Amino acid sequence: MSTTPTPRTRVIREPHRGVYDRETLYKILDEGFICHVGFTVDGQPFVIPTGYGRIGDNLYIHGSAASRMLRSLDKGIDVCVTVTLLDGLVLARSIFNHSMNYRSAVVLGKAVAVEDPQEKLEGLRLLSEHIIPGRWAESRQPNDKELKATLVLRLPITEFSAKVRQGPAIDDEEDMAFPTWAGVIPLEVTAGEPIRDAQLDLEIETPHYVKGYSRRRL
């Protein structure tokens, strides 16, 4: 479902690449690994990379309870969360027209600390499953000490936009005859061969979600 962009989320540069529907936004968020959280404390801007997870119309981020970022966000200051997926390098005939194929998402709002123990545990499960589906159920669950040392924040996805660039190089007509290679170098995240921990019991088999791990476009 498409939404009307706000003055803060409307794409100004290359507006035809702006996308404002939740389906596109959620596909980008669900494929990414790392988000960058931007905020300002006492006039000083910060941008911090961190893991995240999503369920429905909420993003969850986590970190140390002593984290300046998370403690600041919990005070209700404005936050900007971004995720970018790089799909290819676009080589044009002119340097000026070189570009990249990408999908990016921006979410604006205020994050709040998750106080309910069950929701907090669920937020951590989402973070784990976002990275490696199936791993949570086969790992030791967080104990009370670990939960106390961890802060989980919920960010409602209400004000957002996405921006997408796909396709070939766009050259000026006068450059089309320039004798140099033009095209796209596709890029994607691929998983290598799993490496067993040196102290792992040899009888423990590699699980299917490790052997067949993939981060392909959803």
* Ordered structural domains, the chain, with CATH: 15-171 (2.30.110.10)
* pTM for the structure as a whole: 0.88
The residues facing 19 across adjacent strands are 162
The residues facing 38 across adjacent strands are 47, 80
Strand 99-109 relative to strand 159-165, pairing: antiparallel
Distance CA 92, CA 14 (A): 18
111-135: per-residue pLDDT in tens? 888 889 899 999 999 999 999 999 9
The two three-digit tokens of residue 6, written as one number: 């706000």
The two three-digit tokens of residue 182, written as one number: 């033009």
Q: What are phi and psi of 89, to 5 degrees?
A: -100, 130
Count of Cβ atoms closer than 10 Å to residue 58 Cβ: 17
Nearest to 31 by CA among 43, 40, 23, 39: 23
The two three-digit tokens of residue 112, written as one number: 């709040």
Count of Cβ atoms closer than 10 Å to residue 75 Cβ: 12
163-203: per-residue pLDDT in tens? 999 999 999 999 999 999 999 999 998 899 999 999 999 99
Q: Tokens 């209700």 appear where?
A: 76
Q: Does residue 218 carry a pLDDT above 70?
A: no
The span from the first CA to the last CA of the chain, in angstroms, equals 18
